[in-house]
Amino acid sequence: MLKAVVDKLEDVSEAVRGEYKQGDGGKFFLDISGLEEGTGHPAVGELVRAKKREADEAATHKTTAAKLKGELEQAQEAMRKRLMGKVDKSDLEALEVDYNKRLADLKAEGDQHAGALSASLREVLVDREANALAAGIALDANAASLLAESVQRRLTVEITTEGKAVTRVLGPDGKPSAATIDDLKKEIVATPKYHALLSGSRASGGGATPGGSGGGAPSGSKGNTATMSPTDLVARLDAKRAAG
């Protein structure tokens, strides 16, 4: 049987060496006619079928590649439009609604935390300071409660430039002042209208003492405000102010 391809002519009989031609790569190929496409030779038929399968696969791959390329270009165009602000109106409205809802939720949450923080700061820096000041100079617990209300109106919470919360004393006009808690305490002790609520060692003038009736106190009122009603306490304070 003749070989279709040989490395050198010596591999075949000298009688048929003339039927071989050297091709690319230096090898020798049997020169046979009648092997064109359409002939009945089995080897040629297999080659034709293999070539067709290769062509079909190449066409399929080409179609798939073209489809993927088109999808990629569409995605790139959509991204480009978004980056340039060319979003469909419906998409833009949906995004705006979602953004506004999220913004409202965050604001409500922030307001809630801010309110709780403000209340806590006021309790510590205003209410407790006022109660402590009043308890230190008041005649008794009832007087301290009334006096603390006046002190609270003169205190506020202030946030410094360093972000620290501090107690700020307000002036009689309600504006922030440079006065300290001790300054406010001295002011209250020196103010006649508060003398009826102060302990004997703190009151100045008016004769208000823990065991006395107090200058100008209404008839029947007691010196110890623990047994007095709020109405009697106010009456006593008014009387002391008139007498002072």
Q: Give percent above pLDDT 70 in the chain.
A: 70
The domain in which residue 206 lies consists of: 102-243
- Which of 107-111, 125-129, 145-149, 191-195 has the lowest average pLDDT? 107-111
**Residue 202 in domain:** yes
198 domain-assigned: yes
| Residue 129 tokens, joined | 């300071």
Residue 114 lies in a domain: yes
Give CA–CA dist 158/126, Å, rounded: 10
196, part of any domain: yes
Partners of 157 in the β-ladder: 167
- Please tell me the pTM assigned to this model: 0.42
Question: Which band of pLDDT confidence, cut at 50, 70 and 90, is reported for residue 203?
Answer: low
> Is 226 contained in some domain?
yes
* Long-range pairs of 28-33 with CB within 8 A, sequence gap ≥ 24: 29/4, 29/5, 30/2, 30/3, 30/4, 30/5
Domain for residue 215, yes or no? yes
Count of domains for the chain: 1
Taking only the tens place, the pLDDT of each residue in 166-177 is 899 999 999 999
Q: Which ranges of 88-229 would DSSP assign to H, the alpha helix?
A: 89-122, 128-137, 141-152, 181-190
3-state SS, the chain, equals CCCCEECCHHHCCHHHHHHEEECHHHCEEECCCCCCCCCCCHHHHHHHHHHHHHHHHHHHHHHHHHHHHHHHHHHHHHHHHHHCCCCCHHHHHHHHHHHHHHHHHHHHHHHHHHHHHHHHHHHHHHHHHHHHHHHHHECCHHHHHHHHHHHHCCEEEEECCCCCEEEEEECCCCCECCCCHHHHHHHHHHCHHHHHHECCCCCCCCCCCCCCCCCCCCCCCCCCHHHCCHHHHHHHHHHHHHHC
Q: Comparing 35 with 122, which gets the higher pLDDT?
A: 122
The pLDDT value recorded for residue 184 is 93
Residue 187: pLDDT band by 50, 70, 90 thresholds?
A: very high
Q: In this predicted model, which residue has the larger pLDDT, 4 or 34?
A: 4
Q: Is position 135 within any domain? A: yes
CA angle 118, 121, 127 (to 5 degrees): 115
Please name the amino acid found at residue 26.
Answer: G
**86 falls within a domain:** no
